[in-house]
Structure 1
Amino acid sequence: MTSAPRSVDHDPAATVPGPPLPLLAAPWSARVARAEGADLDLVHGWMRSPHIDAFWHQAWPRERWYEEIAGHLAGDAILPVLIDLDGRPLAYIEVYRVVRDRLAGQYAELPHDLGVHIAIGEAGRTGKGLGRSLLRALAEGLLAADPACTRVVAEPDVTNGPSLKAFAAAGFRHVGEVTFPDKTAALMVHPRHEEDMPR
């Protein structure tokens, strides 16, 4: 006996809009990253930095980063974002819809759950509390940008101690671990309200 294919009308991934740009207040600002020019140079350069490559593993040629960002911009799964602090570029962020990500099915996600990947570009600006401040601003900014979203999640590598501490200090809760082919990740959740935590 075979079952009928699932209707697109009932597929959450088909009806939920793409990830939004976080609404950030000064001194933070966010804008969609472009796949060319200075934005591409910035992301490509940052991704070759040892402190980022150790966990992102995406020290790719410039041409591949062009394809990566252009692909994100053409789809509705991941939004590539550049974050400035006081007008100076600080971080590259990917905002994603969990239902369209490999994290889908790894926990009891809701259709509007949003996830974040974060890379602070310059090693000299890490370890100064900027990460936790940015993560808190991002979580609040994403919840503000999408009223239907009740939680923001992240899946940093379990071996990345500084990242785990920053997420915890920013109000994210460690609710479990997820195993991917390239890493074991800590599932971190920042709920809008306490009752929005995964059960």
Structure 2
Amino acid sequence: MSTPPSPSFTFRPVAPAADAPLLHRWVTHPKAGFWLMGESTAQEVESAYAAIDADPHHQAHLGLHDGRPAFLMERYDPAHRELTGVYEAQAGDIGMHFLVAPTDTPVHGFTRAVITAVLARLFADPAVRRVVVEPDVRNAAVQRLNAAVGFRVERPVTLPHKTAALSFCTRADFETARETARENARGAAV
């Protein structure tokens, strides 16, 4: 069993005009089907991220691995975006989406390392108590990944473009999942 990577991740805000060509390649790739932008033009991608950039309740960040673009992370206020009226948002809730860049040379454990870095980034804000996600119920792979980092599915919800698995990850559940992963890695290394 190989040990998951320990990459160096950084984040920077998406620059809609400059990043649109890169993001267009990512969001229109067949592996990004659940991102729901598969038929978008580069201009539509730029417009979508310009709208996010102007929105006080939604932010997009490009994730860098060792200085190179590797993933996209969005954070949003679920009381004002995506889940408005779907559940009763609590103080300290933050919504999240993430997308790992497509690659011809996948690295075992990389996507889990990305979502772990994303959650660590979100929980670095002391005001964040829970991270909320709404993956498509058909996306079994992301639901397994979510469970591995501490998310718990509350219930299916109907959204405009999908039926989603409304899921929550508390700070405590994330820390427990991280400690379990560290113990498993130590056990595998022995």
Q: TM tier, shorter chain?
A: 0.7 to 0.9
Q: Partner letter of residue 137 of structure 2?
A: V
**2:158 corresponds to:** 179
Q: Secondary structure at the match of 1:98?
A: coil
**1:79 corresponds to:** 59
Count of residues in correspondence between the two structures = 167
Q: TM-score, normalised by structure 2?
A: 0.80
Instruction: Please tell me the root mean square deviation across aligned C-alpha atoms, in Å.
Output: 1.9
Where do 1:4-83 residues align within 5 Å?
27-37=8-18, 39-52=19-32, 54-59=33-38, 60-83=40-63
Please, which runs of 5 or more residues in structure 1 have no aligned partner?
A: 1-24, 195-199
Where do 1:117-128 residues align within 5 Å?
117-124=97-104, 128=108
**2:131 corresponds to:** 152
Is the 2:7–2:113 contact (alpha carbons within 8 Å) kept by the matching residues of 1? no
Q: 1:44-91 CA deviation, whole Å, 9 max, x = no partner?
A: 111110010x21221311111111111111121210111112222111
Q: Partner letter of residue 90 of structure 2?
A: L
Shift in Å, 1:127: 7.4
Please, which runs of 5 or more residues in structure 2 have no aligned partner?
A: 1-5, 174-190
Is the 1:29–1:87 contact (alpha carbons within 8 Å) kept by the matching residues of 2? yes
**Equivalent pairs: percent with the same residue?**
31
Q: TM-score, normalised by structure 1?
A: 0.77
The whole-number CA distance in structure 2 between the counterparts of 1:104 and 1:111 is 14
